[in-house]
């Protein structure tokens, strides 16, 4: 594992307990992002860097009882809460692992993949390659996260950087945080959210990464 992974794990050690409460206001954007996956009953959907599993219920609603949610999360503290959630709810069709994006091995290929506020993963070439090789060509991809404001807003980007820094090891890499994923997709489209400091994106996966 790299020092970025270690730093991220350390960051989330203190954030895990309060994460769900702090993420409450993100639920409308989370719903919008998941809707872009256009999930169908029976599909297998992958939740990348799933945190405490806040997206699991919405993803399960999309794929139904005959579908499957796959997920992974490298922070032991965040994953412990995701595991408790699955046990508490008795969700039999959620497979998840405490694993890093660069190394995780999924039990099946995914039909759709969600990157919801997973900046460090989206900026890691090794992580993106390992994930996308386990997703079916033609799969739906949806992303959301923080980005810099347009360059001409100048000092405002200090705000974006400051907001990103407590959560991400690669905090400054915010100009096109989707670019590694977009390079493997066709029809990649993104729009600004949060007055320019966020983005929401969707696409179709071209095929196995080159
Ligand atoms: C801002 S949280 C988002 C969590 C979740 N996607 C959500 O929407 O609530 C980012 C998550 O990515 C995880 N993460 C960061 N780098 C990772 C990596 N290389 N492999 C797996 N998980 C990682 C962090 O531990 C953290 O839980």
CATH superfamily of this structure's domain 3-205? Vaccinia Virus protein VP39 (3.40.50.150)
C-beta of 149 in contact with ligand 1 (< 6 A)? no
Closest CA to 8 of 198, 168, 131, 132: 168
Rg (CA), the chain: 16
**Per-residue model confidence (pLDDT) at position 210:** 44
Please state whether 141 falls in left (phi above 0), alpha (psi between -120 and 50) or beta. beta
Please name the residue whose Cα sits nearest to atom 25 of ligand 1.
Answer: 75
C-beta of 169 in contact with ligand 1 (< 6 A)? no
Alpha carbon of 9 to ligand 1 centroid (Å): 9
C-beta of 178 in contact with ligand 1 (< 6 A)? no
**Per-residue model confidence (pLDDT) at position 208:** 55
State how far the Cα of 67 lies from the Cα of 60, in Å rounded to an integer: 8
Alpha carbon of 121 to ligand 1 centroid (Å): 7
Pocket test for ligand 1, best of 27, 34, 48, 51 (most atoms within 8 A of CB): 51
Q: How far is CA 176 from CA 3, 27, 58, 90, in A?
A: 22, 23, 27, 39
**Per-residue model confidence (pLDDT) at position 1:** 53
Please name the residue whose Cα sits nearest to atom 27 of ligand 1.
Answer: 51
Q: Strand pairing partners for 45?
A: 69, 112
**Per-residue model confidence (pLDDT) at position 48:** 98
- 3-class DSSP assignment, residue 198: strand
Pocket test for ligand 1, best of 9, 74, 97, 103 (most atoms within 8 A of CB): 74
Q: Are 69 and 92 a contacting pair, CB within 8 Å?
A: no
Report the largest interatomic distance among the alpha carbons of the chain, rounded to a whole angstrom: 50
C-beta of 56 in contact with ligand 1 (< 6 A)? no
C-beta of 54 in contact with ligand 1 (< 6 A)? yes
**Per-residue model confidence (pLDDT) at position 133:** 96
**Per-residue model confidence (pLDDT) at position 129:** 97
* Chain centroid, CA 190 distance in Å: 15
Q: Positive or negative CA dihedral for 48, 53, 58, 63?
A: positive
Pocket test for ligand 1, best of 118, 128, 143, 180 (most atoms within 8 A of CB): 118
Residues of the chain with pLDDT under 70: 1-2, 208-210
SS3 content of the chain, % helix, strand, coil (to 5): 40, 25, 35
Please provide residue 155's backbone torsions phi and psi, each rounded to the nearest 5 degrees: -60, -20
Q: Where are the domains of the chain?
A: 3-205
State how far the Cα of 53 lies from the Cα of 71, in Å rounded to an integer: 8
């Amino acid at each position: 594992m790299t020092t970025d992974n270690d730093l991220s794990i350390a960051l989330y050690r203190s954030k895990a307990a309060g994460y769900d409460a702090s993420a409450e206001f993100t639920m409308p954007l989370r719903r919008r992002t998941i809707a872009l996956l256009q999930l169908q009953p029976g599909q297998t959907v992958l939740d990348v860097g799933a945190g405490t599993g806040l997206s699991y219920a919405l993803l399960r609603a999309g794929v139904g009882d005959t579908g499957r949610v796959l997920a992974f999360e490298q922070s032991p503290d965040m994953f412990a809460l995701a595991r408790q959630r699955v046990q508490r709810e008795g969700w039999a069709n959620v497979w998840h692992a405490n694993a890093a994006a660069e190394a995780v091995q999924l039990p099946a290929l995914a039909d759709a993949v969600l990157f919801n506020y997973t900046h460090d993963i989206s900026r890691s070439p090794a992580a993106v390659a390992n994930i996308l090789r386990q997703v079916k060509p033609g799969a739906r991809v949806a992303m959301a996260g923080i980005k810099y404001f347009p360059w001409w807003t100048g000092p405002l980007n200090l705000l974006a950087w400051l907001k990103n820094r407590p959560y991400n090891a690669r905090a400054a890499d915010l100009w096109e945080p989707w670019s590694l994923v977009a390079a493997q997709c066709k029809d990649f489209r993104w729009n600004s959210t949060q007055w320019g400091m966020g983005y929401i994106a969707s696409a179709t996966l071209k095929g196995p990464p080159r």
